[in-house]
Structure 1
């Protein structure tokens, strides 16, 4: 995939995920997890995650990106409102804090991109897909876990619920 295609895919995916998070929806839905998994697979399959000319530095920056993606996903998950309705179904809805955390996530990703460029690393746009896939996946998994905790369910849902 070229840079323009990846940029459009990333933009569409982020808009889709944030839009879905801002709507009231059941926490057991797996739509965002599927989107996240697809982004991770595409990011890995696209290759070029490491600059072979500066391998140690590239791997270090990659590790920082993974830690940041996970930490930001955890932070955003904590900003999502999760509750039970009268029939015992868990629901979630993002808050204004979630949008602020998304902005911080994007700013962090841009800062990491420019840090790599300043260090002389060849930037791989596929790493953006991997970063977003990880951060969306972590957030979705944790929000679903909070919903399961409220309902007392220990198992993952067997069916896809948008």
Structure 2
């Protein structure tokens, strides 16, 4: 009981796992920054063969998995189902976005790509699906960790990059014009 002039007892500090709010900022900021960077880069004309993006995707997945807490041990089956749904969603949306990217070969035979307005719409749809899965988990009582956002973004970026690169490799070689063949032999 407090008396006039006394100070209340301090509230004990919590130790252990970071709070959900703090973890949200620690995870959301890098995930959103990576996604915005990747989306911005996709609106530019770029070669289809890019290994650097795969390193970014791998770093995001490793960070998400290393952060732990991807499954809720109190609701193991349901939480595993949500993780699988997120992974399937990440793969599907990666493929869908890859199909919306314009891919072509220049005269030198280099494959190029550039995202379209449909690519941006597919990104919005993939984020909406991710938010819906997160909300579904919350409604069902699953303690969703935001680390799964890193895994989702990493997987979906990697799938899209691999699918666009495959589309670029699948394009036919540019036709050689008769004058170009003579110039190639002379050099």
With the length of structure 1 as denominator, give the TM-score of the two structures: 0.91
Number of positions where the alignment pairs a residue of Structure 1 with one of Structure 2: 152
CA contact (8 A) 1:40 1:130 kept: yes
Q: 1:27 aligned to 2:48?
A: yes
Q: Secondary structure at the match of 1:86?
A: coil
CA contact (8 A) 1:90 1:151 kept: no
Superposition pairs for residues 53-132 of structure 1, below 5 Å? 53-132=74-153
CA displacement at 1:14 relative to structure 2: 0.6
With the length of structure 2 as denominator, give the TM-score of the two structures: 0.79
Q: How far apart are the structure 2 equivalents of 1:122 and 1:78?
A: 34
Q: How far apart are the structure 1 equivalents of 2:172 and 2:47?
A: 12
- Mark the structure with the bigger radius of gyration: 2
Equivalent residue, structure 1, for 2:6: none
Hey, which of these two has a bigger chunk of helix by percent? Answer: 1
Q: How far apart are the structure 2 equivalents of 1:4 and 1:61?
A: 22
Q: How far apart are the structure 1 equivalents of 2:172 and 2:56?
A: 25
CA displacement at 1:48 relative to structure 2: 0.2
- 1:7 pairs with 28, 52, 56, which one? 28
CA displacement at 1:151 relative to structure 2: 5.7
Which runs of 5 or more structure 1 residues have no equivalent in the other structure?
153-162
- 1:150 pairs with 140, 157, 171, which one? 171
Equivalent residue, structure 2, for 1:158: none
Equivalent residue, structure 1, for 2:184: none
Equivalent residue, structure 1, for 2:67: 46
Q: How far apart are the structure 2 equivalents of 1:148 and 1:37?
A: 22
Q: How far apart are the structure 1 equivalents of 2:24 and 2:34?
A: 15
Which runs of 5 or more structure 2 residues have no equivalent in the other structure?
1-17, 174-187
* 4+ aligned runs moved over 6 Å, structure 1: none
